[in-house]
Amino acid sequence: MKNRKIYLFIFLVLMIFSTASFLFVRLSKNQETSIESSSEKENWKETTIQPSSENAIENSSTQKIEDPKGPKENPKEIESQILLEVPFVVQAPFANWKDADFQNGCEEASMVMTIGWLDEEKNISPTEAKKRILDIIAFENKTFGYSADTDVFDMQKIFKQYFKNENIKASENITLEDIKDEIQNGNIVLVPAFGRALKNPNFTQPGPIAHMLIIIGYDPATKEFITNDPGTRKGARYRYGENLLFEAIWAYPSGKDIPPLPETAKIKKAMISISKID
């Protein structure tokens, strides 16, 4: 009987130990599973959030920023001759070249031709041309205190104040393409120039220092600008090679006296463009 009690006690101890061992192992596995699950969740967060951040950075760095004004178009080449109907006026209408007003009247004559074009005049008589040139000179002397030479910005003021015309733009640091673009858009262009560099055989040699003329067209076949040059009675529709004319362009200063010869390296390019469009 005593032995049976001993065996029963040993059996109970073993059962308790086995149960405790089983519960301990089960609990340990649950903890490992919980830790592993938590670790997997963290890894999942990393794999879902981090690539999203990287993609956002990549998209930001590679996103194309559009110009709000739209893409710039390259100017089209002029394919056929352009020639505007602009009445011609010589700066000395009665060949009175010794008169200082007419000897220096290229800017005024250019403005007379420009207004004639805007008013759609076919011809301007020598008498009318002389009167208009002298009227502009009187305005210049009253407004500026000089009339011998007027730069593109003084001329812009004359167009706006005397002629009450706002469709005018004076520009500096221009290119050859800028002039062509204006012509292609149906505008005329006034350019100041170093007159001697134009090499016009009709000028009294060696030619004027400061000179103004109008570009009224372009011929792509010969690469020539077509001009109304008031410095000679033969200046109507006179042609200059595009490079020769562009190289001669010189933004000379305003003043009472004739400016000194320009230094080639310091020549600044300028123009005035005139439009009929309001």
- For residue range 36-56, what is the model confidence (pLDDT) as tens digits? 444 433 343 333 334 333 333
Provide mean pLDDT across the span 227-246: 98
Percent of the chain with pLDDT over 90: 66
**Where is pLDDT greater, at 263 or 69?**
263
Q: Total structural domains in the chain?
A: 2
For helices 126-143 and 106-118, angle between their N-to-C axes, nearest 10 degrees: 110
> Which H/E stretch holds residue 216?
strand 210-219
pLDDT at residue 35 tops 50: no
195 in the same domain as 101: yes
Peptide bond preceding 206 in cis form (omega within 30 of 0): yes
The Cα–Cα gap between 114 and 189 comes to 9
Residues present in the chain in total: 278
**Mean pLDDT for the chain overall:** 83
Alpha helices, H only, the chain? 2-62, 100-103, 106-118, 126-143, 152-161, 176-184, 242-248
Tokens of 130: 């002389």
- For residue range 78-120, what is the model confidence (pLDDT) as tens digits? 889 999 999 999 999 999 999 999 999 999 999 999 999 999 9
The Cα–Cα gap between 163 and 65 comes to 44
194 in the same domain as 90: yes
**Where is pLDDT greater, at 51 or 266?**
266
Report yes or no on 64 lying in a domain: no
178 in the same domain as 95: yes
Contact 213, 190 (CB under 8 A): yes
The Cα–Cα gap between 220 and 223 comes to 5
Report yes or no on 61 lying in a domain: no
pLDDT at residue 180 tops 60: yes
pLDDT at residue 210 in the model: 97
Report yes or no on 71 lying in a domain: no
